Structure 1
Amino acid sequence: MLEVRNLRAGYGAINVLWDVSLQMAEGGLTTIIGPNGAGKTTLLRAIMGLVPVMQGEILLGGRRIDGTPAWHMADASVAMIPEGRMVFRDMSVEENLIMGAFPKAQRAHVKQRLEASYDMFPRLRERRSQLAGSLSGGEAQMLAMARGLMSDPRVLIVDEPSLGLAPLVVNELFEILSRLKQEGRTIVLVEQNTERAVAIADHVYLMQGGKVLLSQAASDIKLDQLHDLYFAR
């Protein structure tokens, strides 16, 4: 469904990705892992149109989307939940959620999607009138995920959801990801918790130095060998 072919991308004169190719199957969960500086976030930003593509192609359902401005990605039914939450701190929880359904085609479904978000994340219902900047880290991550789902995307891109969170919250977030996968959404997950990421995935890519070092079905992954590659041992 989502395919990256021979991608080169970076920031100005600095190239970060070197001929990266990946395939994310429709309805599957693809995990991309790798150490800091591997190029994982740059890859996600390139897919979302936040980083210019210098070479290669990005295709969604066989149609090229590289060069599509980020603000049109919702129209292509793609949503990204960024690293670091990036909620609107001075807006309420509910206002943040409504912003997730800002595209004109989604506005008629706001009430329905709000209820679905509150059912999935009951704590957000309790804090619907609270400023997002006053939430805990776990609650802010829930808000970021719920906001991303407000546009009902076919493709959900999630960058480091467990970063800095308590184990109980991490468990809850991975349960949500499992549920979304069972619903048939196509999910691209960047995550440094390799054990949890592989356990939930259908396919695993390992990146290092802006290149793909490993592409393997999750069921065939041996964690010891994966960690040897991860740490370049």
Structure 2
Amino acid sequence: MLLEIDKVRAGYDAINVLWDISLSAEEGKVTCILGPNGGGKTTLLRAITGLIPVKQGQIRFAGQPTTNMKTWKLVEDGVTMIPEGRMIFRDMTVEDNLLIGGFIKRCRANARANLDMAYDIFPRLKERRHQLASSLSGGEAQMLAMGRGLMEEPKLILIDEPSLGLSPLLTDEVMAIIARLKTQGRTIVLVEQNTHKALEIADHVYLVRGGKVMLSESVGDVDLDRLHDLYFARDTAAERG
């Protein structure tokens, strides 16, 4: 497993959000983390990337312990996060946004080749490379955030809610790009609320609710009715009834 998370607890100051979460991501596969808002999905990504402290448990990347490692060191080692909300630099051009992703020391020599790679995957960005990022549509901004992440030559790509705020058409386009990255052998951890779209490209699915893993199954074994019962906490309602 490229990424292993073992009984992790984490949160914000005195508020704990994750409760003994354990999951893993296999190399060359798409691991999808589903769940309702407030379930702990983004908190988990922040714990993996060192943005919040892990209070208990262990995280390993490529067989090495990375619990509470500095974020910049994880990026150097090949962990890239494409954040919720894009977080692009709106007052910079599309191309400058991409080049920032390639500023890591180990990537600088390949910056031009990686830029060509990003434009090959996202031809719309090449068309708009001299425009300010603020002029992009929501779908284009998501492509820019993904392209910037790929400029870092990642071994592991964490993608947080890529379909958030996008139309169904643009959602399909972004998911098709993630599927293409999968065919290239990329290792992806995808946080998503759109269960149907996520299941179309995922290899393994985790459902996280209330800071805990409620389901862990390969995609071929997923029962959608049961998944949705767990997602919407209908299982607990049935138990109370």
Q: Which residue of 2 aligns with 1:141?
A: 142
1:7-56 CA distances to partner (integer Å, 9 max, x unpaired)?
00011111100000001111111000000010000000100110111001
SS of residue in 2 equivalent to 1:9: strand
- Cα distance in structure 1, aligned partners of 2:77 and 2:136: 31
User: What are the residue-to-residue correspondences of 1:208-227 with 2, within 5 Å?
Assistant: 208-227=209-228
Instruction: Please report how far the alpha carbon of residue 151 of structure 1 lies from its aligned counterpart in structure 2 after TM superposition.
Output: 1.1
Q: Which residue of 2 aligns with 1:178?
A: 179
Q: Which residue of 2 aligns with 1:154?
A: 155
Q: Which residue of 2 aligns with 1:118?
A: 119
Instruction: Please report how far the alpha carbon of residue 181 of structure 1 lies from its aligned counterpart in structure 2 after TM superposition.
Output: 0.8
Instruction: Please report how far the alpha carbon of residue 173 of structure 1 lies from its aligned counterpart in structure 2 after TM superposition.
Output: 1.0
Q: Which residue of 1 aligns with 2:239?
A: none
* Structure 1 alignment gaps of length 5 or more: none
* Letter aligned with residue 87 of structure 1: I
Q: Which residue of 1 aligns with 2:238?
A: none
RMSD, aligned α-carbons: 0.8
* Letter aligned with residue 82 of structure 1: P
SS of residue in 1 equivalent to 2:76: helix
* Structure 2 alignment gaps of length 5 or more: 235-241
Instruction: Please report how far the alpha carbon of residue 163 of structure 1 lies from its aligned counterpart in structure 2 after TM superposition.
Output: 0.7
- Cα distance in structure 2, aligned partners of 1:84 and 1:102: 22
Q: Which residue of 2 aligns with 1:72?
A: 73
1:100-137 CA distances to partner (integer Å, 9 max, x unpaired)?
01111101111101111111111101110111112111
- Cα distance in structure 2, aligned partners of 1:121 and 1:218: 28
Q: Which residue of 2 aligns with 1:16?
A: 17
* Letter aligned with residue 79 of structure 1: T
Q: Which residue of 2 aligns with 1:188?
A: 189
- Cα distance in structure 2, aligned partners of 1:131 and 1:93: 6
- Cα distance in structure 1, aligned partners of 2:61 and 2:213: 20
- Cα distance in structure 2, aligned partners of 1:82 and 1:66: 20
* Letter aligned with residue 159 of structure 1: D
1:135-169 CA distances to partner (integer Å, 9 max, x unpaired)?
11111000000000001111000000011111221
Q: Which residue of 2 aligns with 1:62?
A: 63
TM-score, with structure 2 as normaliser: 0.95
* Letter aligned with residue 37 of structure 1: G
Instruction: Please report how far the alpha carbon of residue 72 of structure 1 lies from its aligned counterpart in structure 2 after TM superposition.
Output: 1.5
* Letter aligned with residue 125 of structure 1: K
Q: Which residue of 2 aligns with 1:91?
A: 92
Moved more, 166-175 or 80-89: 166-175
After superposing on structure 2, the runs of 4+ consecutive aligned residues of structure 1 that deviate more than 4 Å are: none
TM-score, with structure 1 as normaliser: 0.98
- Cα distance in structure 2, aligned partners of 1:18 and 1:60: 20
Q: Which residue of 2 aligns with 1:106?
A: 107
Q: Which residue of 1 aligns with 2:27?
A: 26
SS of residue in 1 equivalent to 2:208: strand
Instruction: Please report how far the alpha carbon of residue 182 of structure 1 lies from its aligned counterpart in structure 2 after TM superposition.
Output: 1.2
Moved more, 66-75 or 91-100: 66-75
SS of residue in 2 equivalent to 1:178: helix
- Cα distance in structure 2, aligned partners of 1:66 and 1:100: 24
SS of residue in 2 equivalent to 1:156: strand
SS of residue in 2 equivalent to 1:177: helix
SS of residue in 1 equivalent to 2:125: helix
How many residues are treated as equivalent by the alignment? 233
* Letter aligned with residue 104 of structure 2: P
- Cα distance in structure 2, aligned partners of 1:147 and 1:56: 31
